[in-house]
Amino acid sequence: MTTRDEVIDEIRKVFDPEIPVNVVDLGLIYDCAVDPMGKVDVRMTLTTPGCPSARAIPDEVRARVAAMEGVKGVNVAVVFDPPWHPRLITAEGRRILGIPEGEFT
């Protein structure tokens, strides 16, 4: 059975084309759940509703997860509530972007 951690690891391979940080470390993935039947639900956002990659990023998340062994279905919901904020970027993402620790807290 595919685990949530395996799905998150696969989603880490998806990058915003304008930012050199994966969508997990960028804080765009709000939730990920895998049921025992292999159905995966991902709740995510974008940095802005007008993001130029508003279709491409969720489509890539969906495609990567769908291609995983054991996954029987994928639902990717793009939400804007709560809105994304730079404070959602992980410590690793901040390191890559050169954002000082404590910024945006």
Whether 40 maps to a domain, the answer reads yes
Q: Please answer whether residues 70 and 36 qualify as being in contact, where contact means their C-beta atoms are separated by less than 8 angstroms.
A: no
List CB contacts of 86: < 8 A, sequence separation 6 or more.
Answer: 27, 99, 103, 104
Q: Please answer whether residues 33 and 4 qualify as being in contact, where contact means their C-beta atoms are separated by less than 8 angstroms.
A: yes
**CATH label of the domain that carries residue 33:** 3.30.300.130
Whether 104 maps to a domain, the answer reads no
> Tens-of-pLDDT digits for all 105 residues of the chain?
899 999 999 999 999 888 999 999 999 999 999 999 999 999 999 999 898 899 999 999 999 999 999 999 999 999 999 999 999 999 999 999 999 887 776
Whether 96 maps to a domain, the answer reads no
- Match 């807290």 to its residue by tokens: 105
- Write down the pLDDT at residue 1: 85
Note down the domain range covering 34: 4-84
- Write down the pLDDT at residue 101: 80
Whether 99 maps to a domain, the answer reads no
Whether 95 maps to a domain, the answer reads no
How many domains, the chain?
A: 1
- Write down the pLDDT at residue 105: 63
Whether 105 maps to a domain, the answer reads no
- Write down the pLDDT at residue 36: 95
